[in-house]
Structure 1
């Protein structure tokens, strides 16, 4: 899902952030990029301390993909009630990006429905904060019209792929009653998922058990990935997110990785990270999950997967 917004001022930037992230961030540093062939956005938790080592890590995480994608300009929004933290971030980020030849449009601090520009000079005093309300902004209205959901927080977004206890128990019992999965499961699993995608239906119990029981097979998982295109990614995401919510622990890593893949393909990096959190909770070194995490960190675009498919 591609979101194109044209911002002409600070309040446009503030309204754009929850639309492109899919949630209203808190205690976060957000970077919006402009002018690249494939622009992207990034969100980081605020570092627990704003010492030199923490700031250097933040700079490297954000500069590296900006350099790779030849970004022209960036804008930063610090979501925090701590002016000192925002000031330290601004004083470190702006020179680092300018040194790379990347212009900085602005550094804003937002908190409790108000914003201000953060002075770049270390120790300078912030101007008074200005109230803002993005609920009625045209960007928000456009997102609603397009059917995009903006969650109140990252926790609320994460809840969309959180486990459902009763369903996990029910599906787990059904999986235990099935024979060991094998290569022959590739076609029936693909047909089940395609049916749910095409009909807009949620997975049924028996079908979900068949899919989840087989997804630990590499050939089944790979076939599930190859079935996803950027045009169908959103619908596949709906199905795999539902499967993830009911997946028993042994099936969580592979199911979560496929869910993250669908989210990445649909342009929803924030939800992809939420799915990967579930993957790594069970298997911190899951190969596909680790690969997808690297893609997200490096802001690799979904078009890269299409190139892989075309060359296969």
Structure 2
């Protein structure tokens, strides 16, 4: 997210730690998180990297992900066991050479310790934390921003459902050679809007239709930020055979991006391009998601329904 987010100015480590899971989209564990701050202490964006890399590599990756918008400082947070502490300390020294280090926190379990040299904040002596009870976390929840339990839980939202894939494959085999997709999208959207799950007989022709550029572009044009559309495109992404996944995963990514769920949009894009370079629309959506352009910057918004409000 490159724009400052409302009510994400942090005044304490508790505020910062409360915001991070909601801005990432999940609760981090065994990861290093960089929180990029504007001059007014507002959070511009966040980025996370797993601990499997060296301090030098992690520092490079996180500096490359700093937002284009003027970034005044960075807060660095390590989530993990005591063994990670030296890596976090080294990263703090490296990153501070390029961007002023505002905060250097180490979180293990429910305990937070500030590792910033010379800092006299409350966390320098270690404090117990409960990010869920933070006022910042509460506000972001009200704003409709979701924090899943883990990165794995996020990936599961777009992971293939093998049983459903087999059902869709059987339905594809049974399709008539002259199957028509006229009116298919309207029927699918009408079904999903009534909170009804598509049956395999609906998923199969939809999967086939979305392999065609015109159909995919038409579908993309009617994607909105409604929760029912989020559920629809994630469900179809999980249920179609892998060779058909690029289309629905692109729509799932586009919907997530429009909702401000950038982490979900990112994993959906990865699923969309996993089978190959994909359609030009898939590549375009992936580029938009990777640049973290916020949805309100869209010059000509896609058609929205009256139910398009956060959390719907």
TM-score range relative to shorter protein: 0.7 to 0.9
Q: Which residue of 2 aligns with 1:25?
A: 28
Q: Which residue of 2 aligns with 1:297?
A: 290
TM-score normalised to structure 2 length: 0.80
Q: Which residue of 1 aligns with 2:310?
A: none
Match of 2:194 among 187, 190, 199: 199
Contact 1:91 1:120 in 2 (8 A): no
Q: Deviations over 1:253-277 (max 9, x none)?
A: 2221221121111111111122223
Indicate how the Cα distance of structure 1 residues 174 and 3 shifts in structure 2: closer, same or farther if over 3 A, else same: farther
Runs of 4+ in 1 over 6 A off after TM superposition: none
1:274 and 2:306 correspond: no
Q: CA separation in 2, counterparts of 1:274 and 1:132?
A: 29
Q: CA separation in 1, counterparts of 2:293 and 2:146?
A: 24
Contact 2:58 2:91 in 1 (8 A): no
Q: Which residue of 2 aligns with 1:101?
A: none
Q: Which residue of 1 aligns with 2:79?
A: 79
1:85 to partner: Cα distance: 0.9
1:46 and 2:51 correspond: yes
Indicate how the Cα distance of structure 1 residues 167 and 133 shifts in structure 2: closer, same or farther if over 3 A, else same: same
Q: CA separation in 2, counterparts of 1:89 and 1:291?
A: 33
Q: Which residue of 2 aligns with 1:94?
A: 96
Find the residue that maps to 1:18 and give its secondary structure.
Answer: helix
Q: Which residue of 1 aligns with 2:307?
A: none
Find the residue that maps to 1:44 and give its secondary structure.
Answer: strand
User: Comparing 147-156 with 259-268, which one deviates more in the overlay?
Assistant: 147-156
Find the residue that maps to 1:95 and give its secondary structure.
Answer: coil
Find the residue that maps to 1:282 and give its secondary structure.
Answer: coil
1:160 and 2:162 correspond: no
Match of 1:171 among 168, 171, 179: 168
Q: CA separation in 1, counterparts of 2:15 and 2:7?
A: 13
Q: Which residue of 1 aligns with 2:248?
A: 255
Q: CA separation in 1, counterparts of 2:64 and 2:145?
A: 31
Unaligned runs of 5+ in 2: 304-312
1:309 to partner: Cα distance: 6.3
Contact 1:233 1:263 in 2 (8 A): no
TM-score normalised to structure 1 length: 0.80
Q: Which residue of 2 aligns with 1:222?
A: 217
Indicate how the Cα distance of structure 1 residues 60 and 140 shifts in structure 2: closer, same or farther if over 3 A, else same: closer
Which structure dedicates a bigger proportion of its chain to helix? 1
User: Comparing 293-302 with 169-178, which one deviates more in the overlay?
Assistant: 293-302
Unaligned runs of 5+ in 1: 99-103
Indicate how the Cα distance of structure 1 residues 38 and 154 shifts in structure 2: closer, same or farther if over 3 A, else same: closer
Find the residue that maps to 2:77 and give its secondary structure.
Answer: strand
Q: CA separation in 1, counterparts of 2:16 and 2:97?
A: 21
1:164 to partner: Cα distance: 1.6
Aligned residues: 292
